[in-house]
Homo-oligomer: A and B are copies of this chain.
Amino acid sequence: MSQRPLPEILASRMLARSRLFSIEELTLRFSNGVERVYERLPVRGHPGVIVVALNERREIMLIREYAAGFHEVQLSLPKGAAHVGETLEYAADRELKEEIGFGARHVEFVKRVTLAPGHMGFTINIMFAKDLYPEQLPGDEPEPIEVVPWPLERLDELLRSPDFTEARAIAALTLTRELMEKA
Protein backbone atom coordinates (compact mmCIF):
# COMPACT_ATOMS: atom_id res chain seq x y z
CA MET A 1 0.00 0.00 0.00
CA SER A 2 2.81 2.42 0.90
CA GLN A 3 5.92 3.12 -1.16
CA ARG A 4 8.02 3.64 1.95
CA PRO A 5 10.38 0.70 2.60
CA LEU A 6 9.97 -1.33 5.77
CA PRO A 7 12.67 -0.99 8.42
CA GLU A 8 15.35 -3.64 8.34
CA ILE A 9 15.34 -6.13 11.24
CA LEU A 10 18.94 -6.05 12.45
CA ALA A 11 18.35 -8.48 15.32
CA SER A 12 15.51 -10.21 17.14
CA ARG A 13 15.43 -12.18 20.36
CA MET A 14 12.80 -13.68 22.62
CA LEU A 15 12.84 -11.93 26.00
CA ALA A 16 10.24 -14.13 27.69
CA ARG A 17 7.87 -16.96 26.91
CA SER A 18 5.01 -18.20 29.10
CA ARG A 19 2.21 -20.67 28.46
CA LEU A 20 0.16 -18.06 26.52
CA PHE A 21 2.43 -15.14 25.70
CA SER A 22 5.86 -14.31 24.27
CA ILE A 23 7.73 -11.02 24.41
CA GLU A 24 10.11 -10.38 21.51
CA GLU A 25 12.70 -7.64 21.07
CA LEU A 26 13.44 -6.29 17.58
CA THR A 27 16.35 -4.05 16.69
CA LEU A 28 15.27 -2.06 13.63
CA ARG A 29 16.98 0.28 11.19
CA PHE A 30 14.54 2.60 9.41
CA SER A 31 15.16 3.74 5.83
CA ASN A 32 16.43 7.12 7.07
CA GLY A 33 19.15 5.33 9.07
CA VAL A 34 17.51 5.75 12.51
CA GLU A 35 17.91 2.64 14.68
CA ARG A 36 15.40 1.71 17.39
CA VAL A 37 14.73 -1.20 19.73
CA TYR A 38 11.05 -2.28 19.70
CA GLU A 39 9.19 -4.85 21.77
CA ARG A 40 6.26 -6.83 20.47
CA LEU A 41 4.02 -9.75 21.43
CA PRO A 42 4.13 -12.22 18.52
CA VAL A 43 1.01 -14.17 17.68
CA ARG A 44 0.59 -17.50 19.51
CA GLY A 45 -1.92 -20.27 19.09
CA HIS A 46 -4.74 -20.79 16.61
CA PRO A 47 -6.89 -18.17 14.86
CA GLY A 48 -9.64 -16.68 17.02
CA VAL A 49 -13.25 -15.85 16.26
CA ILE A 50 -15.64 -13.29 17.78
CA VAL A 51 -19.25 -14.00 16.90
CA VAL A 52 -22.22 -11.70 16.40
CA ALA A 53 -25.22 -14.05 16.60
CA LEU A 54 -28.76 -12.80 15.96
CA ASN A 55 -31.70 -14.87 17.23
CA GLU A 56 -35.20 -15.13 15.74
CA ARG A 57 -36.45 -12.32 18.02
CA ARG A 58 -33.84 -10.02 16.47
CA GLU A 59 -31.75 -10.01 19.62
CA ILE A 60 -27.93 -10.01 19.67
CA MET A 61 -26.60 -12.79 21.89
CA LEU A 62 -24.28 -11.05 24.35
CA ILE A 63 -22.48 -12.78 27.19
CA ARG A 64 -21.34 -11.68 30.60
CA GLU A 65 -18.17 -13.39 31.78
CA TYR A 66 -15.12 -12.99 33.97
CA ALA A 67 -12.41 -10.79 32.40
CA ALA A 68 -9.10 -11.53 34.10
CA GLY A 69 -7.41 -8.44 32.61
CA PHE A 70 -9.62 -6.29 34.86
CA HIS A 71 -10.73 -8.85 37.51
CA GLU A 72 -14.30 -7.87 36.62
CA VAL A 73 -17.36 -9.48 35.09
CA GLN A 74 -17.88 -7.79 31.71
CA LEU A 75 -20.41 -7.73 28.89
CA SER A 76 -19.07 -8.92 25.53
CA LEU A 77 -19.62 -11.26 22.58
CA PRO A 78 -18.97 -15.02 22.37
CA LYS A 79 -15.43 -15.75 21.23
CA GLY A 80 -12.68 -18.32 21.27
CA ALA A 81 -9.84 -19.97 19.38
CA ALA A 82 -10.31 -22.45 16.53
CA HIS A 83 -9.24 -26.00 17.27
CA VAL A 84 -6.81 -27.82 14.99
CA GLY A 85 -8.42 -28.50 11.62
CA GLU A 86 -11.51 -26.36 12.24
CA THR A 87 -12.62 -23.75 9.72
CA LEU A 88 -13.48 -20.33 11.15
CA GLU A 89 -17.16 -21.03 10.42
CA TYR A 90 -17.03 -24.34 12.30
CA ALA A 91 -15.19 -22.74 15.23
CA ALA A 92 -17.78 -19.94 15.45
CA ASP A 93 -20.64 -22.44 15.49
CA ARG A 94 -18.92 -24.57 18.16
CA GLU A 95 -18.17 -21.55 20.37
CA LEU A 96 -21.85 -20.55 20.20
CA LYS A 97 -22.89 -24.05 21.27
CA GLU A 98 -20.43 -23.96 24.17
CA GLU A 99 -21.02 -20.40 25.34
CA ILE A 100 -24.68 -19.59 24.64
CA GLY A 101 -26.28 -23.00 24.03
CA PHE A 102 -27.22 -22.38 20.38
CA GLY A 103 -25.90 -23.60 17.06
CA ALA A 104 -26.26 -21.56 13.86
CA ARG A 105 -27.45 -22.78 10.45
CA HIS A 106 -25.82 -19.75 8.82
CA VAL A 107 -22.31 -18.53 9.70
CA GLU A 108 -20.30 -16.11 7.57
CA PHE A 109 -16.88 -14.47 7.76
CA VAL A 110 -17.02 -10.67 7.98
CA LYS A 111 -13.52 -9.28 8.54
CA ARG A 112 -10.23 -10.05 10.25
CA VAL A 113 -9.24 -7.27 12.66
CA THR A 114 -6.13 -6.48 14.70
CA LEU A 115 -5.86 -5.36 18.33
CA ALA A 116 -2.82 -3.12 18.73
CA PRO A 117 -0.73 -3.79 15.60
CA GLY A 118 2.12 -1.51 16.70
CA HIS A 119 2.84 -3.85 19.60
CA MET A 120 1.11 -7.21 19.02
CA GLY A 121 0.63 -9.71 16.22
CA PHE A 122 -2.81 -10.76 17.47
CA THR A 123 -5.83 -10.84 15.17
CA ILE A 124 -9.41 -12.00 15.54
CA ASN A 125 -11.96 -12.96 12.88
CA ILE A 126 -15.37 -11.30 13.07
CA MET A 127 -18.12 -13.81 12.20
CA PHE A 128 -21.86 -13.32 11.75
CA ALA A 129 -24.31 -16.09 12.70
CA LYS A 130 -28.07 -16.38 12.27
CA ASP A 131 -30.78 -19.06 12.05
CA LEU A 132 -30.00 -20.27 15.56
CA TYR A 133 -31.29 -23.50 17.12
CA PRO A 134 -30.80 -24.80 20.67
CA GLU A 135 -27.76 -27.04 21.12
CA GLN A 136 -25.42 -27.09 24.07
CA LEU A 137 -21.85 -28.41 23.94
CA PRO A 138 -19.63 -28.66 27.01
CA GLY A 139 -17.03 -25.86 26.93
CA ASP A 140 -13.81 -25.18 28.79
CA GLU A 141 -15.28 -22.35 30.88
CA PRO A 142 -14.78 -22.65 34.65
CA GLU A 143 -18.40 -21.62 35.28
CA PRO A 144 -21.52 -21.26 33.11
CA ILE A 145 -21.59 -18.08 31.05
CA GLU A 146 -24.53 -15.71 31.51
CA VAL A 147 -26.31 -15.03 28.22
CA VAL A 148 -27.76 -11.53 27.71
CA PRO A 149 -30.00 -11.19 24.62
CA TRP A 150 -29.93 -7.54 23.51
CA PRO A 151 -32.53 -6.10 21.07
CA LEU A 152 -30.99 -5.07 17.74
CA GLU A 153 -33.11 -1.92 17.79
CA ARG A 154 -31.17 -0.80 20.90
CA LEU A 155 -27.75 -1.32 19.28
CA ASP A 156 -26.72 2.36 19.48
CA GLU A 157 -27.41 2.40 23.21
CA LEU A 158 -25.19 -0.68 23.62
CA LEU A 159 -22.30 0.82 21.63
CA ARG A 160 -22.36 3.97 23.80
CA SER A 161 -22.81 2.13 27.12
CA PRO A 162 -19.89 2.44 29.56
CA ASP A 163 -20.58 -1.22 30.45
CA PHE A 164 -19.75 -2.36 26.91
CA THR A 165 -16.14 -1.44 26.29
CA GLU A 166 -14.39 -4.08 24.20
CA ALA A 167 -13.15 -2.44 20.99
CA ARG A 168 -13.21 -5.77 19.12
CA ALA A 169 -16.87 -6.26 20.05
CA ILE A 170 -17.77 -2.67 19.09
CA ALA A 171 -16.02 -3.20 15.73
CA ALA A 172 -17.78 -6.56 15.25
CA LEU A 173 -21.24 -5.06 15.86
CA THR A 174 -20.50 -2.11 13.57
CA LEU A 175 -19.31 -4.31 10.73
CA THR A 176 -22.27 -6.72 11.01
CA ARG A 177 -24.92 -4.05 11.48
CA GLU A 178 -26.08 -4.12 7.85
CA LEU A 179 -26.17 -7.94 7.85
CA MET A 180 -28.28 -7.88 11.01
CA GLU A 181 -30.68 -5.26 9.70
CA LYS A 182 -31.19 -7.23 6.48
CA ALA A 183 -31.57 -10.57 8.30
Contact = CB atoms under 8 A, between A and B. Distances in A.
A132 interface: no
A19 to B, nearest CB: 6
A69 B2 contact: no
Nearest to A76: B117
A26 B170 contact: no
Contacts of A68: 26, 28, 38, 40, 118-119
A94 B123 CA distance: 29
Contacts of A113: 165-167, 170
Q: Assembly of this chain: how many copies?
A: 2
B21 A41 contact: yes
A15 B22 CA distance: 11
A66 to B, nearest CB: 6
Interface stretch (A29-37, A82-90, A97-105): A29-37
Interface string A65-87: 11111111111100000000000
A98 B19 CA distance: 38
Contacts of A118: 65-69
Contacts of A159: 174-175
A11 interface: no
Interface string A1-24: 110101101000001111111010
Given A30-B143, A32-B142, A72-B117, 17 more contacts: A4-B73, A7-B66, A16-B23, A20-B119, A21-B21, A21-B39, A32-B143, A38-B68, A40-B68, A42-B69, A69-B118, A69-B119, A70-B117, A70-B121, A115-B116, A116-B166, A167-B170
The 5 closest A-B pairs by CB, nearest first: A16-B16, A67-B117, A170-B171, A167-B171, A113-B167
